[in-house]
Amino acid sequence: MGRVVVGVAVGVAVAACAVAAVVVGRRVRSKRKWRRVVGVLRELEDNCETTFGRLRQVVDAMAVEMHAGLASEGGSKLKMLLTFVDTLPNGSEKGTYYALDLGGTNFRVLRVQLGGGRSSILDNDVKRQPIPQHLMTSTSEDLFDFIASSLKEFVDQEGDAESSVDRRRELGFTFSFPVKQISVSSGTLIKWTKGFAIRDMVGMEVSGCLEQAMTRKGLNMKVAALVNDSVGTLALGHYHDADTVAAVIIGTGTNACYMERTDAIIKCQGLLTTSGGMVVNMEWGNFWSAHLPRTTYDIDLDADSPNPNYQGFEKMISGMYLGDIVRRVILRMSEEADIFGPVSSKLSMPFILRTPLMAAMHEDDSPELTEVGRILSDILEIPHAPLKVRKLVVKVCDVVTRRAARLAAAGIAGILKKIGRDGSGGKTPGRSRSDNRIRRTVVAVEGGLYTSYTMFREYLHEALNEILGEEVSQHVFLKVTEDGSGIGAALLAASQSSNIQQCG
Ligand code: ADP
Ligand code: MG
């Protein structure tokens, strides 16, 4: 009997030891796995580092590249395109103007009524319409006939008082593709982007194509300003606040423009404008500097993109890409160790994790991170991720967004440095050496990433304050404009009287 008891006891002990060994073994393995994944995170953090010193280098590089792009054609990755917009709307504009905003999947037509007193946009109507997919790769005639028809319908709906007079209406045309501007109201298409590919259009004069289509549709309308979305944003910003000197778009893509002195535009010698200035469209999405903190994920994303080696700054900053950088990091973690379960095939699908979803995970403040769990499960097909893993995903989003926002801030500070508004004592027209007052400076901002992603916006503000320092920051304001890309073009149609032509 005693032997049996002893035997059972020994058996139990052996079994317990075996279980313990399995548990310990599992723990050790799990710890090892976890360590590998944390290693991936640490490496990401290190390579995305945006210390104060590094940001300052990016600020300096931006200012230097701006100089280079203004000095000669092709002198920098920054195109620094002339816009021929020499004066910005100031509130005295009066009358009814139209705008057409074409630059993505939707296009919009707008009517803006201006009262003549500062900040008195009396009314504006908007009509939004998607561009049918087949027209994006069809002929320029098909595309512009479609747009002109839509515009005609919109104009025909005008109130009686307006339509009874058969006057020639003026239109601001926001065309957010790279254009070589010939005058404020005309320019040739350099290349298509964003899914458009109408071969017969490249090299053609854009406003002319639209005007011919409008004539075909019996619409008596003239393009008075041809601009891109950042210039429209600057125009609306300046209309509301005369201290607005630059505009930045941070949405699907990113770009910036600002008011430059004509004598600083070396590549266009002898350029004369009444104001002594001209808005320069930087096309800053293509900015590059060795100081930018780049990771293997960025390199792979670029290599897989339809435009490798282009838009390097944009690929680190804008809404089109941030979600995809995060997807790539999660894929790598998942391959490194099975903390996400078996590697989900969804993780290999480019752009499946869109930036608004990434933002929703980043900003999930529920104790159990339920939104993170839902997105991992529904979008990436990673079910039942434990809390610890969900926290890790939030951290990845944080690292990627923080870098993006801080680099965008450095870009803005670079512009301020170039125009002497960063407190470092650069040259400013009309300012004597002894006048050390820091001038109030406003930058107009537009784009869904900035306006809808709170953490992005906060990181950007924090970095800008850090770079500029407390004293200067107090005088620099980022102001969100709404529909600037459309309304701004109508304002420019109203305010542009200049007829300066292509330089050289
Ligand atoms: P576009 O740049 O195409 O003219 P928007 O300025 O409206 O359009 O920006 C839309 C982009 O902003 C989206 O493609 C997306 O990347 C980003 N975005 C929109 N909403 C959010 C959000 N809630 N969180 C993060 N990013 C967002
Ligand atoms: Mg836009």
Question: Does the beta carbon of 281 sit less than 6 angstroms from any atom of ligand 1?
Answer: no
In a domain, 8, yes or no: no
293 C-beta closer than 6 A to ligand 1: no
Same domain, 94 and 64: no
CA–centroid distance, residue 376 to ligand 2 (Å): 29
Clarify whether residues 76 and 90 are in a common domain.
no
3-state secondary structure of 468: helix
In this prediction the pTM is 0.90
Are 210 and 261 within one domain? no
In a domain, 40, yes or no: no
Residue 24 lies in a domain: no
Reported as a single tens digit per residue, the pLDDT across 19-59 is 666 666 667 778 888 999 999 999 999 999 999 999 999 99
- Is the residue at 270 inside a domain? yes
Query: 162 C-alpha vs ligand 1 centroid, how far in Å?
Result: 36
Same-domain pairing of 327 and 181: no
- Using the predicted structure, report yes or no on whether residue 233 has a pLDDT greater than 70: yes
Residues 203 and 70 in one domain: no
**Alpha-carbon gap, residue 440 to 473, rounded angstroms:** 10
Percent of the chain surpassing pLDDT 90:
72
Ligand 1 atom having least distance to the Cα of 320: 16
Nearest listed ligand to the Cα of residue 104: 1
Of 191, 193, 186, give the one whose Cα is nearest residue 171.
Answer: 186
Domain end among 185, 200, 227: 227
In a domain? residue 487: no
CATH number of the domain where residue 199 is located: 3.30.420.40
Residue 431 within any structural domain of the chain: no
Residues 6 or more apart whose Cβ sits within 8 Å of residue 113:
95, 96, 121, 122, 123, 124
Protein residue closest via CA to atom 6 of ligand 1: 447
Q: Summarize the confidence of residues 324-350 as an average pLDDT.
A: 96
Which ligand lies nearest to the CA atom of residue 361 in the structure? 1
- Residue 250 Cβ < 6 Å to ligand 1: no
CA 289 – ligand 2 centroid, Å: 26
Could you identify the atom of ligand 1 that is nearest to the CA of residue 453?
A: 24
Residue 309 sits in a domain whose CATH number is 3.40.367.20
Instruction: Please state the domain count of the chain.
Output: 2
Averaged pLDDT, 457-486:
96
**Residues 255 and 192 placed together within one structural domain of the fold:** no
Give the range of the structural domain holding residue 461, as residue numbers without chain letter: 49-80+240-424+437-482
User: pLDDT, tens digit, for every residue of 442-471?
Assistant: 999 999 999 999 999 999 999 999 999 999
Catalytic residue among 108, 390, 406, 457: 108
Give yes or no: residues 209 and 276 share one domain.
no
Structure tokens at 483: 């529909």
CA distance 384 to 398: 22
Residue with CA closest to ligand 1 atom 15:
319
401 has a pLDDT exceeding 60: yes
Answer yes or no: do 247 and 273 share one domain.
yes
326 lines ligand 1 (CB under 6 A): no
| 398 falls within a domain | yes
Burial of 288 (0-12, 13-18, 19+ CB in 10 A): middle
What is the rounded average pLDDT for all residues in the chain?
89
CA torsion, points 247, 223, 136, 350, in degrees to nearest 10? 0
Separation of 229 CA from ligand 2 center, angstroms?
6
Task: Answer whether residue 264 is part of any domain.
Answer: yes
Distance 272 CA to ligand 2 centre (A): 31
Dist CA 399 CA 407 (whole Å): 12
93 and 133, same domain (yes or no): yes
Same domain for 148 and 66: no
Whether 462 and 332 map to the same domain: the answer is yes
Looking at all shown ligands, the one closest to residue 450's CA atom is: 1
295 and 149 in one domain?
Answer: no
Question: Catalytic: which of 86, 101, 186, 229?
Answer: 229
Catalytic annotation present for 176: yes
138 among known catalytic residues: no
Domain end marker among 176, 196, 227: 227
